[in-house]
Structure 1
């Protein structure tokens, strides 16, 4: 059968070979094929704790969806345990083992294997409820915390660690538990200040204030839907700030100039209060070794308070009351150790307690 020239594979290849030979004779080489830049790895977040975190721990689903809705899409919740439902799509991997005591996890060295299997960048830890129920001394629980932090840093020297002041507990079978939780929570901020480092900060997230065992749990211990919403709302600003800071770059890959985060801290104080409101103040301090060109703070007021006025910054408020405050043009640049302060007025429900707020901040390095 007669074949046309187009049906011969040799005739299809020869023009290409001839062109390449001509290019080589002229001292030219074909340009390499462009390749797409590798996608950045997602930030890996480990929810760590006991049944409040993992059985089913539906605050994780609420938190996941809120992070995604706010633009944090390149994240990966990790853990050796699978999701347990919760009625909404989310990344349900977690490390919330029902019934576990943090002291047992430390004593039996259970965490290193879990870290090796999941390689988190950030740990979100609500752990110690069973220890408090078992009347274990706060100092021993904190010693377990310290051991776990050391294991986290052995896994990842740049680990960022969010530690909760535990939600209240008031089960019918433990009359003393309510006070024990309050006593233990009071020790956590001092421990965190002593344990945190510039490279691996420890951030305390107040899950206790404004949480009611009567309305936010179904048994005096475990959160119901209302409790899940409150827990997620408290984690969100601290975790969002850690995500905004980004995963530390590999050596030789410093990232885009001017976009590297710089360390800063935020401190809240109540200036004055009255029926139905109060005046608050937040001080942002540059705790890094270099200057920053701007900062962003988040303020989550306790007990349903809402910021209604703000000065020395620009304000954006989310539906749940979380306020995002960015520096004004005149107070964003801070030398190492320098501070800037913004003030606000908040309205509060009639049932609110003393003024309180969870505050965090991130800094922006100047363009190189």
Structure 2
């Protein structure tokens, strides 16, 4: 949902556009990766962004979650020196790798590892948005609900003034039948709504930018 596929804009792009128009100072998007996922090659080896001028640095991976990125976050923060991490993870973990409790433990480790490299890093976390599987798999749907509860508790437990944690509000109007192209991955509408969820929370909690305007192309 974050890395995006060849030919897409991604919600990262939508948020970048928004901040360019509303944030009062200079900013950079940083990270060790740049590629999109290419469905034709089944690998993250495409650079065919819908807008080739987008500064495309990130630390996202197709099929990767807390389980995969927690071991990478300390080095990424140390090398690229982000002030704010925007994190949307968990769906793939709950679907294939870890239950809600184990996933929440990985969140705690992720935060600890990020702070090990930057004790003042701020982290905004998006709750898991249930996908189409949750409509037909009640145990999976229950795990999503449970993880989001644990995520809220984890944010409350680990928040501290010098390294604030922010639980963003999920996009209230998000509809997987309207805002995704396959029941999971966002289309243009979904990209705007995820970007808006981050943008509104950043503005409300930390006075960064302004409220998000556009939700659709």
Q: 5 Å matches for 1:296-335? A: 319-320=213-214
Q: Distance in 1 between matches of 2:53 and 2:24?
A: 16
How far did 1:214 drift? 0.9
Work out whether 1:91 is the aligned partner of 2:55. Answer: yes
Aligned to 1:67: 19
Question: Aligned match of 1:161 in 123, 128, 135?
Answer: 123
Aligned to 1:188: 151
**TM-score where L is the length of structure 1:** 0.49
Task: Confirm or deny: 8 A CA contact 2:181 2:187 kept in the other structure.
Answer: yes
Aligned to 1:143: 105
Where structure 2 has 5 or more consecutive residues not aligned to the other structure, the ranges are 36-46
Distance 1:242 1:73, change over 3 A: farther
Aligned to 1:15: none
Question: Aligned match of 1:226 in 181, 189, 193?
Answer: 189
Task: Confirm or deny: 8 A CA contact 2:171 2:196 kept in the other structure.
Answer: no
Aligned to 1:55: 4
**TM-score where L is the length of structure 2:** 0.80
Q: Distance in 2 between matches of 1:63 and 1:208?
A: 14
Distance 1:127 1:319, change over 3 A: closer
Aligned to 2:39: none
Distance 1:137 1:99, change over 3 A: same
Aligned to 2:201: 238
Q: Deviations over 1:112-136 (max 9, x none)?
A: 2222221111100001111111262
Q: Distance in 1 between matches of 2:62 and 2:84?
A: 21
Q: Distance in 2 between matches of 1:243 and 1:77?
A: 18
Highest Rg: 1 or 2? Answer: 1
Larger relative contact order (Cα-Cα within 8 Å, sequence gap ≥ 6): 2
Task: Confirm or deny: 8 A CA contact 1:54 1:97 kept in the other structure.
Answer: yes
How far did 1:182 drift? 2.6
Distance 1:72 1:96, change over 3 A: farther
Question: Aligned match of 1:214 in 166, 171, 177?
Answer: 177
Where structure 1 has 5 or more consecutive residues not aligned to the other structure, the ranges are 1-51, 246-297, 301-317, 322-368
Task: Confirm or deny: 8 A CA contact 1:67 1:240 kept in the other structure.
Answer: no
RMSD: 2.6
How far did 1:64 drift? 0.4
Aligned to 2:126, the other structure's residue is in SS state strand
